[in-house]
Chain A
Amino acid sequence: MPQTISEKILAAHAGKKAVRPGEFIEPKVDLALGNDVTAPLAIKEFRQVGAKKVFDRKKVALVMDHFTPNKDINSAEQVKFVREFAHGQKIVNYFEGSNVGVEHALLPEKGLVLPGDLVIGADSHTCTYGALGAFATGVGSTDLAAAMITGRLWIKVPATIKFVYKGKLQKWVGGKDLILYTIGRIGVDGALYQSMEFTGPVIEKLPMPDRFTMANMAIEAGGKNGIIAPDKITSDYVSKRAARKYKFYSSDIGAEYADVIEIDCSKITPQVSLPFLPSNAKAVTDLGSIAIDQVVIGSCTNGRIEDLRLAARLLKGKKANPRVRLLIIPATPLIYTQMVKEGLIDIFLAAGAIVSPPTCGPCLGGHMGILAAGERCVATTNRNFVGRMGHVKSEVYLASPAVAAASAVKGRIAHPEELK
């Protein structure tokens, strides 16, 4: 029976030869993740049912990234609560303070999530790891508590939508533009309860960071996971990081799909998703003049070194518009170090940017760049819901690092070509 890559990974972890969409299974997880917002609830529930020990102290990761550096007393208390649990349980992968990075950039960078894995995380953007050919899905705190106890997850096997990306990528177009365009096409519930499999000649050539960006936003189309079959690009990324074995899965010829959607990338130009849904994707060139107050370059979607290099290339020798606060947030300490080594930080500072420590911070309206009523922000993040980055009357425009950097200089939403 031919199967998709997602079905194969789920079957392997459920100890079955094959699974079919709609079937309920309880597969084993390779890693269960929680953060400073979701782990406290999970730990409370863990204790409430009288659990004493996590199923495997090497297979739980706790990343205190959302409000780091702790923004107030309550968030510091939450981290303290998780820290004490992590130490008590001898959790190997506990990250806070100077070790912490944005979880979905940090775990792949450290080789803690690998191809063929089944990863769950009490964070909706856990789907990022699908870029490595893992089945990764976001869950809630109770699911995390259950997984910490049993090492298993309950899940309904999703049907899969296959996306085939064809044509030639235009200049300045990358993973962010592709995924915003895709969500714009199918809507924020276009892949509800389903798996999104990204395929085609464009994906086969797409660099790892762009793949992470695409898989990261599968949830913004309602998807259970986003996945890309691992290849040479994947193995170049993981082989130097992995401390354990991993397995490459791929979809069989003849595997069944709920839908197949072909996308001609030659027609896609830099995209921006307007408030208040990620599906409001438009070409930058169709927007007219939209004045902005803030730019955020960072997050689990676009806070990798390649994103910062791209922004620096555009900002070199230029200044951010005086009415724009430009925030640059390297996603992990290693990316921060690299940014300093390569001299990118000098370019950013000379451009008038504020360089923040790694944090989820402003992306979710946590701290480090909150918007007032009426303020507009171009962000390389993943959500532009009402009030997402601050006041309910503020606005977030989602875009690539290239569009964000160009917009910072122009003081309005701008195409990277405009900086020439």
Chain B
Amino acid sequence: MTLKGKAHKYGSNINTDEIIPARYLNTSDAAELAKHCMEDLDRDFMKKMKKGDFIVAESNFGCGSSREHAPISIKAAGVSAVIAKSFARIFFRNAINIGLPILECAEAVKKIKSGDAIEVNLATGAIKNITRSETYQAQAFPEFMQQIIAKGGLLEYIKTR
């Protein structure tokens, strides 16, 4: 599957309070959560992002709380994938479990600038920077996680067993 969109670049340690503040956690409605995606980090995020765009961030993306509302709001906002140098561990699990594509690739993060046109092949982990005519290779997921991803999430994976 190929994903296409523009990059929105952020720094290190983007935490779940910035991705979806707790004042909105009195609901678990995905569309409602999407309205406030990244609100405390970048008030204009939902205005400037277009469906299919990518979030690109430095290390430890999604640190802090276990709220699955964070990857849910990103997914429901229409972000096609998050590319980071590394992810906080609970965010990482949650993204795999709910089927939000995430990619770990230090080189991509180093070279991609905000606004670059990006194309990602999820099957191979190839990240193409169309603006700069470069290609970066994301780390492959371990086989166990690939099985969950292939089923479209943890609960579907459990169901088939």
* Chain A residues within CB distance 8 Å of chain B: 24, 37-38, 40-41, 44-45, 48-49, 66-67, 71-72, 74-75, 78, 121-124, 126, 138-143, 145-146, 149-150, 154, 156, 188-189, 192-193, 219, 222, 224, 277, 364-366, 383, 385-388, 392
Q: How far is the CB of A48 from chain B (nearest CB, A)?
A: 7
Chain B residues contacting A156 (CB-CB under 8 Å) are 142, 144
Whether B89 and A192, one on each chain, are in contact in the complex, defined by CB atoms closer than 8 angstroms, is yes
A-B contact count (CB 8 A): 133
Instruction: Provide the bound-state CA to CA distance between A366 and B18, in Å.
Output: 14
Chain B residues contacting A386 (CB-CB under 8 Å) are 15, 17-18, 40-41
The residue in B17, B18, B60 that gathers the most chain A C-beta atoms within 10 A of its C-beta is B17
Whether B63 and A24, one on each chain, are in contact in the complex, defined by CB atoms closer than 8 angstroms, is no
Chain B residues contacting A49 (CB-CB under 8 Å) are 155-156, 158-159
Whether A142 and B68, one on each chain, are in contact in the complex, defined by CB atoms closer than 8 angstroms, is yes
Given A121-B66, A189-B86, 6 additional A-B pairs, CB 8 A: A66-B25, A141-B68, A142-B98, A143-B93, A143-B154, A365-B23
For the residues of A in contact with B, the DSSP-based class is loop
Q: How far is the CB of B139 from chain A (nearest CB, A)?
A: 13
Q: Which residue of A lies closest to B91 (CB)?
A: A140
Instruction: Provide the bound-state CA to CA distance between A123 and B67, in Å.
Output: 7
Chain A residues contacting B60 (CB-CB under 8 Å) are 188-189, 192, 222
**What are 5 contact pairs spanning A and B, CB under 8 A?**
A138-B90, A143-B94, A222-B60, A364-B17, A386-B40
Chain A residues contacting B158 (CB-CB under 8 Å) are 49, 146, 149-150
Q: Which residue of A lies closest to B21 (CB)?
A: A387
Chain A residues contacting B89 (CB-CB under 8 Å) are 192-193, 222, 224
Q: Which residue of B lies closest to A190 (CB)?
A: B60
Chain B stretch 44-102: residues in CB contact (< 8 A) with chain A: 59-60, 63-69, 71-72, 86, 88-90, 93-94, 97-98
Instruction: Provide the bound-state CA to CA distance between A67 and B25, in Å.
Output: 10
Chain B stretch 120-161: residues in CB contact (< 8 A) with chain A: 142, 144, 148, 153-156, 158-159
Whether A387 and B17, one on each chain, are in contact in the complex, defined by CB atoms closer than 8 angstroms, is yes
The residue in A78, A189, A364, A366 that gathers the most chain B C-beta atoms within 10 A of its C-beta is A189
Q: Which residue of A lies closest to B22 (CB)?
A: A364
Chain A residues contacting B88 (CB-CB under 8 Å) are 189, 192, 222
Q: How far is the CB of B144 from chain A (nearest CB, A)?
A: 4
Chain B residues contacting A67 (CB-CB under 8 Å) are 26
Chain A residues contacting B67 (CB-CB under 8 Å) are 37-38, 140
Q: How far is the CB of B85 from chain A (nearest CB, A)?
A: 10
Interface assignment of B28: CB less than 8 Å from any CB of chain A: yes
Whether A124 and B154, one on each chain, are in contact in the complex, defined by CB atoms closer than 8 angstroms, is no
Whether A188 and B68, one on each chain, are in contact in the complex, defined by CB atoms closer than 8 angstroms, is no
The residue in B13, B26, B63, B64 that gathers the most chain A C-beta atoms within 10 A of its C-beta is B26
Query: Among A143, A150, A387, which residue has its beta carbon within 8 angstroms of that of B18?
Result: A387
Whether A75 and B21, one on each chain, are in contact in the complex, defined by CB atoms closer than 8 angstroms, is no
Chain A residues contacting B154 (CB-CB under 8 Å) are 142-143, 145-146, 154
Whether B66 and A139, one on each chain, are in contact in the complex, defined by CB atoms closer than 8 angstroms, is yes
Task: State whether A364 and B142 are in contact (beta carbons under 8 Å apart), knowing that A45-B155, A140-B90, A145-B155 are contacts in the complex.
Answer: no
Whether B90 and A139, one on each chain, are in contact in the complex, defined by CB atoms closer than 8 angstroms, is yes
Chain A residues contacting B69 (CB-CB under 8 Å) are 37, 41
Task: State whether A123 and B66 are in contact (beta carbons under 8 Å apart), knowing that A140-B90, A142-B94 are contacts in the complex.
Answer: yes
Q: How far is the CB of A102 from chain B (nearest CB, A)?
A: 14
Question: Per-position contact with A for B20-41: 1 when CB-CB < 8 Å, else 0?
Answer: 0111011110000000000011
Query: Among A71, A78, A145, A388, which residue has its beta carbon within 8 angstroms of that of B17?
Result: A388
Chain A residues contacting B27 (CB-CB under 8 Å) are 74, 78
Q: Which residue of B lies closest to A120 (CB)?
A: B66
Q: Which residue of B lies closest to A121 (CB)?
A: B66
Instruction: Provide the bound-state CA to CA distance between A367 and B148, in Å.
Output: 37
Instruction: Provide the bound-state CA to CA distance between A366 and B24, in Å.
Output: 9
Whether A277 and B144, one on each chain, are in contact in the complex, defined by CB atoms closer than 8 angstroms, is no
Q: Which residue of A lies closest to B143 (CB)?
A: A24
Chain B residues contacting A387 (CB-CB under 8 Å) are 17-18, 21, 40
Instruction: Provide the bound-state CA to CA distance between A189 and B86, in Å.
Output: 9
Whether B155 and A146, one on each chain, are in contact in the complex, defined by CB atoms closer than 8 angstroms, is yes
Whether B144 and A24, one on each chain, are in contact in the complex, defined by CB atoms closer than 8 angstroms, is yes
Q: How far is the CB of A209 from chain B (nearest CB, A)?
A: 23
Whether B25 and A37, one on each chain, are in contact in the complex, defined by CB atoms closer than 8 angstroms, is yes
Chain A residues contacting B68 (CB-CB under 8 Å) are 38, 41, 122, 140-142
Instruction: Provide the bound-state CA to CA distance between A222 and B60, in Å.
Output: 8
Whether A71 and B26, one on each chain, are in contact in the complex, defined by CB atoms closer than 8 angstroms, is yes
Query: What are the nearest 3 A-B pairs in CB distance?
Result: A74-B26, A140-B94, A142-B97
Q: How far is the CB of A149 from chain B (nearest CB, A)?
A: 6
Chain B residues contacting A149 (CB-CB under 8 Å) are 158
Chain A residues contacting B72 (CB-CB under 8 Å) are 41
Query: Among A48, A74, A124, which residue has its beta carbon within 8 angstroms of that of B155?
Result: A48
Q: How far is the CB of A146 from chain B (nearest CB, A)?
A: 5
Chain B residues contacting A146 (CB-CB under 8 Å) are 97, 154-155, 158
Instruction: Provide the bound-state CA to CA distance between A72 and B26, in Å.
Output: 8
Instruction: Provide the bound-state CA to CA distance between A44 and B155, in Å.
Output: 12
Whether B93 and A365, one on each chain, are in contact in the complex, defined by CB atoms closer than 8 angstroms, is no
Whether B66 and A138, one on each chain, are in contact in the complex, defined by CB atoms closer than 8 angstroms, is yes
